[in-house]
C-alpha cells in the first residue's frame, strides 16, 4: 500500500468527533473566536462613542436636533393597524458608526502594514549586509 493510499484510508476512518476536534484546534477557528469577542467589545465602545459623544455634538451643531427621534410617520390608510415609521435618524447614526469603525480598522491595518514594511526593510538590509561581507 502506498503512502497516499494509507493517508486516504486514515482520513476515511476518522470519526465525526475526531474531525470536529481537529477543526476546533485549528488556529484560524480560535483566531476567529477571539476576533468576534474583541469585535463585540469594540462595537460597544464605538456605539457609546457615537451615541453619547459624537451625535449630541452633531445635534448641537445642527440646531439641537436629536437624530434618534428623526422619523417619517406614514399613517395607515387602510384603517387598521399602526402607522409605518421610517426611522432615518437611526440610519444616520448607524452610518456614522460604520464610518468610525471602518476608519479605525483602516488605521489599524495601515499601522500594521507600516510595521511589516519596516520589518521587511530591516530583514532585507541584514541580508544585504550579510551578502556584502
Kindly indicate whether the domain formed by 3-132 is annotated with CATH number 1.10.1200.120: yes
Tens of pLDDT, residue by residue over 95-120, are 888 888 888 888 888 999 999 999 99
Q: What percent of the chain is predicted at pLDDT more than 90?
A: 13
* Angstrom distance (rounded) from CA 101 to CA 21: 34
Answer for the pair 59, 70: CB distance below 8 angstroms, yes or no.
no
**How far is the C-alpha of 127 from the C-alpha of 14, rounded, in Å?**
45
Is residue 86 helix, strand or coil? strand
Give the predicted TM-score (pTM) of the model. Answer: 0.57
Instruction: Convert the pLDDT of each residue in 25-65 to its tens digit.
Output: 777 777 888 888 988 888 888 888 888 888 888 888 878 77
Amino acid at each position: 500500500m502506498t503512502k497516499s493510499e494509507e493517508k486516504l484510508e486514515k482520513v476515511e476512518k476518522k470519526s465525526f468527533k475526531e474531525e470536529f476536534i481537529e477543526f476546533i484546534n485549528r488556529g484560524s477557528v480560535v483566531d476567529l473566536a477571539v476576533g468576534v469577542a474583541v469585535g463585540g467589545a469594540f462595537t460597544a465602545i464605538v456605539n457609546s462613542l457615537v451615541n453619547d459623544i459624537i451625535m449630541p455634538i452633531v445635534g448641537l451643531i445642527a440646531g439641537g436636533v436629536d437624530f434618534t427621534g428623526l422619523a417619517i410617520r406614514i399613517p395607515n390608510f387602510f384603517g387598521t393597524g399602526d402607522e409605518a415609521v421610517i426611522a432615518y435618524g437611526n440610519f444616520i447614526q448607524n452610518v456614522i458608526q460604520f464610518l468610525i469603525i471602518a476608519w479605525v480598522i483602516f488605521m489599524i491595518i495601515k499601522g500594521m502594514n507600516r510595521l511589516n514594511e519596516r520589518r521587511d526593510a530591516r530583514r532585507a538590509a541584514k541580508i544585504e549586509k550579510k551578502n556584502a561581507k
